[in-house]
Amino acid sequence: MNIAQDNALEKVYRPGDVEVALARNWACRKREQATHDPRPTFSMVIPPPNVTGVLHIGHALNVTLQDTLVRFKRMNGYDVLWVPGTDHAGIATQNVVERQLTQEGKDWRALGRDGFIRRVWEWRATSGGTIVTQLKRLGALCDWEYERFTMDKGCSRAVREVFVKLYQEGLIYKDKRLINWCSHCQTALSDIEVTHKETNGHLYKIAYPLAGEDGEIVVATTRPETLLGDTAVAVHPEDARYVALIGKRLRLPLTESQIPIIADAAIDPAFGTGAVKVTPGHDFNDEAIGKRHRLPVENVLTPDGKLAVTTRTGPYAGENMAKARDRIVADLKTASLLRGVEAHAHAVGVCYRCATVVEPYLSEQWFVRMNDPKNSLAKVAMEAVRRGDIHLIPKEWEANFFGWMEDIQDWCISRQIWWGHPIPAWYCGGNDKGMCLPSCKGPIVSVGQPDACPVCGSTHLIQDTDVLDTWFSSALWPFATLGWPTDGDGASEVWLRRFYPTSTLVTSHDILFFWVARMIMMGLYCMKEIPFKDVYIHALVRDKEGQKMSKSRGNVIDPLSVIDRYGADALRFTLLAMASPGRNIQLTEERIEGYRNFANKLWNAARFIQMQPAPQAISPAVAADASPADEWITGRLNQTVHAVHEAMNAYRFDEAAAAVYQFVWHQFCDWYLECVKVGTPTKTQETLLKTFQAILKMMHPFMPFITEHLWGIFGAAQYGQVSLVDAPYPNAVPVDGQASDAFETMMIATVSSIRNLRGEMQIAPSERLECEIYLHNAVAKERYTRYLPYICALARVSIRTIEVGRAAVPKGSTAVSTIPIKDGEMDVILSESYLVAQADRLSKALGKLKTERDRIEAKWDNPLFMERAPESVRAALTTDLDALKKKEAVLCADLARVNGALKR
């Protein structure tokens, strides 16, 4: 009876036929709730993709890595929890819904705040789940029934709790200062939401005339339009050119205002003209200078990025900044105050969401204190990493992490948009008479809506209109998703403590600061415990030129299209194989195609096995009377299983994938299956199926779909119909390594030598060759005798004789090629027509051997080497040299014989 004859397999594997249904099955799986589960736990939270997002190749990599870990850990007996979810992406989502409304011809502001928020929730209900279905298509074995959203009830509660706690402990405060402002998104941004773009700008030199006397100071600036906000010009206190002018006043060009000349040591006399216009309202450095010198702060910017109406902006008021620059430069020129324009490359800060130039803008915002002297969030986070409680993998990222954490600034968390977590702060609107006491001015911060102003008792309370930075809620993700705060509820508390801290976080390095660092700070602050033990940091996926993939470049590889054409398994395996630590992944479709072929190879191996007789029984032990090929493949399987365990424990997905690929294709398919064709004794039938089952289990975390499908045909029956997802991962068991090695050095090496001979001498593969084997000892003869059936079939030779010692030199009338083999030699009998070809081949081979011998002998002749090199190295050299000399002797004799025959 053949294996599962009624499950005939197509000639070519078509992933689409099996993947969709399997993905659906996996997505429907539910956790089994065990009260007393003795298994160790392995938990992860998914880095929540942006709810507006569609699956891109970066998500595919991130999720593939996690899913591979999850399946591997599951199969290795862990109680695995993988919490999925999405984040509410405040600015991005607001932009999406705004655009949608604009298309409908509606003004989003006119909807009012409540109306707008309703619209966003509607949008989320209809279109917000796209990426989640796409993750499922990739095979993500998440615990989908625990899916979370950063704006859901639990997360919102967690956000308010944390905010209040931080506020009460003085770690959240409100302040009026310069912040990064995006005039397109019309909101404040945190430092790291500003990206710096190298820009070819200009350095303008502008003359500021002295007030009431002759003379001028020329300042150099990249932003001439901000001169309307200047409140001083600063020079270095020891700059000889300007020292006499310090304290005098200047006429601010294009205005009626006058500003002082001040001295500040921060000014570099060597740059530009050595004189700097100081604009405390529009530049972070100038803000600091302004504070030192108590300069007035002049704001000339409106929230939408235009020049405001002030006493100075005059005719420029209402102009956007770019236009204002052109006009001001032109007017300076007309007034003969422009002293030069030079090309100047510098970095301009732009909004990471919309690429609008970010303006420093004076406003009142909420901040998280990062470095409170008594309670430094940053310091505690750094200590956790330094102590080794948290491992960054690869370790090289630690330097980067510390570098950033060491000069971290306070985190601006308020955003002037509507979609997000409202800040849980209220302001007193006054008592019954509409009056408010001076002491009512402070915010009332509370988890729930307060009833009345604690100072004056007024019930007229107005909530802060800002919302929190999305990353604030993301920072709570590892514990908020596990049910924090639990209110001491028994079951919830047990659950939280069972899975927190999570085991591993898999994320990409570009959000190390945005997210990972903040999760560590918040986890330690709220839970008094790290949020995860390992952080596996993976690379970005780039195109084959190393460029970032982007729609505008048109170089995106769409994972869904790849899945449709090559299968999710091929995509996953490609990403895993290329995920070597600390390197970007330069993805090409050719590579994906290669692993599609690999899946097909496995598929066809399955088809072959299906045609073989089925074993009567499957026993767990290695059979005593197994064939040499069986012994060999079992040994190699064990080595591979061992290598995969090692690699996975070190997060070396690339090494694990390579080990599996190498074994399945080049050992199992190339050699073992060919040996099986030679003849299938009972034990081989059993080993064949057992090995294939082990391959399916071993490969499942890497290629879940095809393995699960084939498991249904080849494995499930023996395992009580259990899904491969729940099957135990193979473990390495000790086997006879010597037998495996001999199989390779004797059988495989001999076949390869004969094939090599055929190739070099252009002997048709169909031509059967006659051979004689002469061995050095009886043990070798015994081994080769066992291997003969394989050698004859795989090399297409017939063996005339096999014996110990050489009976006679080959007969002169025939062209005989002697091949050195392990522990002996093999004569291949050829017809006279090959004499010339053989002479060529032998000369070439001898040349190669000579080069090799020269290299070894050079070392041998070096007295220092013989004196200082370790014994093992010298011994190896001796062995190599002996072997070389023997080979050379065989070939030389052969060549002499061939030459002799040619002369006749």
Nearest CB to RNA, comparing residues 78 and 404: 404
Q: Please count the residues of this chain forming the interface with RNA, following the rule CB under 7 A.
A: 96
Nearest CB to RNA, comparing residues 177 and 344: 344
Nearest CB to RNA, comparing residues 120 and 644: 644
Contact indicator for 143, 70 with CB cutoff of 8 Å? no
CA dist 878 and 860 (Å) reads 9
Nearest CB to RNA, comparing residues 159 and 178: 178
Map the footprint of RNA across residues 499-538, applying CB under 7 A: 510, 513
CA dist 695 and 636 (Å) reads 12
State the DSSP string of 438-486. Answer: GGGGS-EE-SSPPSS-TTT----EEE---EE-HHHHHTTHHHHTTT---
3-state DSSP call for residue 422?
strand
Map the footprint of RNA across residues 815-854, applying CB under 7 A: 852
Among 177-185, 272-280, 328-336, 805-813, the segment contacting RNA (CB under 7 A): 272-280
Binding of RNA at residue 674 (CB under 7 A)?
Answer: yes
How many other CB atoms are found less than 10 A from the CB of residue 547?
A: 11
Nearest CB to RNA, comparing residues 74 and 596: 596
CA dist 742 and 412 (Å) reads 68
Q: φ and ψ at 589, to 5 degrees?
A: -70, -30
Which DSSP state fits 227? Answer: G
Nearest CB to RNA, comparing residues 364 and 670: 670
Binder among 16, 115, 679, 759 for RNA (CB under 7 A): 759
- β-bridge partners, 362: 178
Binding of RNA at residue 584 (CB under 7 A)?
Answer: yes
Contact indicator for 297, 281 with CB cutoff of 8 Å? yes
Minimal distance, residue 407 CB to RNA, in Å:
7
Map the footprint of RNA across residues 586-605, applying CB under 7 A: 586, 588, 590-591, 594, 596-597, 599-601, 604-605
Map the footprint of RNA across residues 189-228, applying CB under 7 A: 191-192, 195-196, 219-223
Nearest CB to RNA, comparing residues 522 and 763: 763
Minimal distance, residue 68 CB to RNA, in Å:
17
State the DSSP string of 1-52. Answer: -BTTGGGPPPSS--HHHHHHHHHHHHHH------TT--SPEEEEE--PPBTT
- C-alpha distance from residue 440 to each of 175, 426, 569, 692 (Å): 17, 11, 62, 75
Site string for RNA, 33-72 (x = CB under 7 A): ----------------------------------------
Among 8-16, 157-165, 496-504, 886-894, the segment contacting RNA (CB under 7 A): 8-16
Map the footprint of RNA across residues 854-873, applying CB under 7 A: 855, 859, 862, 864-865, 867-870, 873
Contact indicator for 296, 362 with CB cutoff of 8 Å? no
Among 124-132, 252-260, 303-311, 606-614, the segment contacting RNA (CB under 7 A): 606-614
């990064």: which residue's tokens?
180
Nearest CB to RNA, comparing residues 513 and 705: 513
Binder among 182, 262, 527, 585 for RNA (CB under 7 A): 585
Minimal distance, residue 29 CB to RNA, in Å:
29
CA dist 766 and 772 (Å) reads 19
- Here the tokens at position 880 are 């190599």
Nearest CB to RNA, comparing residues 756 and 831: 756
Minimal distance, residue 165 CB to RNA, in Å:
28
Binder among 6, 8, 11, 125 for RNA (CB under 7 A): 11
Dihedral sign for Cα atoms in the order 145, 148, 153, 159: positive
Binder among 124, 758, 841, 897 for RNA (CB under 7 A): 758
Minimal distance, residue 891 CB to RNA, in Å:
15
Map the footprint of RNA across residues 99-158, applying CB under 7 A: none
Site string for RNA, 871-890 (x = CB under 7 A): --x--x---x----------
């040349």: which residue's tokens?
847
- Strands across the sheet with 391-393, in order? 391-393, 532-538, 502-508
Nearest CB to RNA, comparing residues 244 and 864: 864
Q: φ and ψ at 657, to 5 degrees?
A: -65, -40
Binder among 193, 287, 655, 708 for RNA (CB under 7 A): 655
Site string for RNA, 537-566 (x = CB under 7 A): -------x-x-x------------------
Binder among 677, 800, 850, 885 for RNA (CB under 7 A): 677
End-to-end CA gap in the chain = 60
CA dist 232 and 249 (Å) reads 9
